[in-house]
A and B are shown apart, each in its own frame.
Chain A
């Protein structure tokens, strides 16, 4: 799996856009809305590679923060200038409001691409990049408010260990969110989806990234991954409660959610 992502890292984003015709961006936006993070949230994004979830998190929290501040300013309209300037200094106008995201990935190349993107797009505050293995996270217990893994868990050899680690590093009350390819039960869509996956995706891999084999692997790994109910049971086994899932695009993708209570 490691070698697959080494060669895949640089063209990862272009391939994602080509394979999903840009829809992966919508899926990730939906994940962020479901998470609905408030400023001050500490997020761990595992297998976060090139930073898609992390950047969305920062954008979301920034806009929530802006609205918060706007509401505060409206509220302050009755105060004197003296009182307003004092409150400005107090607030320490943090645009992120203490929110932080840690991007953890097992692959150096993916992190490198992510860091470059962050620099290019102007993200610096509240963002850190850590090399680590989902099955053995380099973090203490009870640290994070939210744990996400987007299109990463199917590449983990021992999914049960990754889920256990997710449980360990989350604070009590913390939320586990997993965005991943899942199973389509609708027979017609399933056939079209299979046709597209097996006939078109490896070709895209060869033409865009010069790499047929990695994308053939990708399509096969999606088929081998546990379906919605099975994954839900595995998440429950790790100790999470109120586990549920939401199908996107009739099951091509699913968001699983659970809480450490």
Chain B
């Protein structure tokens, strides 16, 4: 009897790590993860869960954007992953200053982050959409690099505003709206007057950031890539 149950679960499991959930469970998860993410900002897993349970409209949208774009389409076919095991860190470090690869590695080292800490999706009930959200998570650090924002609270909020405009994911919108709650008045001022307007303008102007095959553009200078995508140069402020 136990084997039957396990087999049934495997039939519903669309990708490794997938946990099938009923609509009620998704609703409860969305509410619970939202509250928990606000109460305990170190629960990054809750932010991830919130993204997955509320992304049912935004994710198909993003996938369609990717499908109808030559580079995005290739990404959906080839399913590249950004992981320490797949990146040639030594080669990237050796690239000229100002190139995407060099600046990305610099960002990872300065902020002491790794692309391997992104949560794999659990509650997305479509394996292609699961890849889309995974890709969004793995590309997040590249967003920091392209926007020139560090991983402190202020930098993260700015990136969230940009991502909210770009992806429409409710999790980004909530993060953008509630993130500033923990900032000082001075930072809030800089945020409101300079950084957010720039993030919004760039977000609107830029083409879909998921349609860029970053792994094939390590040598491209950051400035050139910014221009190509449509991200305006970041304001000259220390974040």
Residues of A within 8 A of B (CB): 199-200, 202-204, 206-208, 210, 212-213, 220
Contact = CB atoms under 8 A, between A and B. Distances in A.
Interface in B19-40: 19, 22, 24-25, 28-29, 32-33, 35-36
B49 interface: yes
A202 B32 contact: no
B43 interface: yes
Contact of B25 (A203, A208, A213, A220): A203
A111 to B, nearest CB: 27
A202 B46 contact: no
Nearest to B9: A216
B32 A212 contact: no
Most interface-central of A200, A206, A210 (chain B CB within 10 A): A206
Contact of A200 (B28, B43, B46): B28
A220 B22 CA distance: 17
A18 to B, nearest CB: 10
Nearest to B35: A207
Contact of A206 (B22, B24, B29, B35): B29
Most interface-central of A199, A200, A213 (chain B CB within 10 A): A199
Contacts of A210: 43, 45
A212 B35 CA distance: 17
B46 A207 contact: yes
A221 B25 CA distance: 20
B32 A207 contact: yes
Interface of B: 5, 19, 22, 24-25, 28-29, 32-33, 35-36, 43, 45-46, 49, 122
Nearest to A220: B5
A202 B45 CA distance: 15
A199 B25 contact: yes
Contacts of A204: 32
Contacts of B43: 210
A207 B33 contact: yes
A199 B19 contact: no
Chain A facing B: main interface SS: helix
A8 to B, nearest CB: 16
A204 B32 CA distance: 8
Contacts of A199: 22, 24-25, 28
Contacts of B22: 199
A206 B32 CA distance: 9
Given A203-B32, A210-B43, A212-B19, 14 more contacts: A199-B24, A199-B25, A199-B28, A202-B25, A203-B25, A204-B32, A206-B32, A206-B33, A207-B33, A207-B35, A207-B46, A207-B49, A212-B122, A213-B19
Given A212-B19, A212-B122, A207 B36 contact: yes
A199 B45 CA distance: 20
A200 B122 CA distance: 17
Given A212-B19, A212-B122, A203 B45 contact: no
A105 to B, nearest CB: 25
19 contacts: A199-B22, A199-B24, A199-B25, A203-B29, A203-B32, A204-B32, A206-B29, A206-B32, A206-B33, A206-B49, A207-B32, A207-B33, A207-B35, A207-B46, A208-B36, A210-B43, A210-B45, A212-B122, A213-B19
Contacts of A213: 19
Nearest to B2: A224
Please name the 5 residue pairs, one residue from A and one from B, whose CB atoms are nearest each other, closest first.
A207-B32, A203-B28, A199-B24, A207-B36, A210-B45
Contacts of B19: 212-213
A77 B159 CA distance: 78
Contacts of B36: 207-208
Contact of A207 (B5, B29, B122): B29
Contacts of B28: 199-200, 203
A204 B28 CA distance: 9
Contacts of B49: 206-207
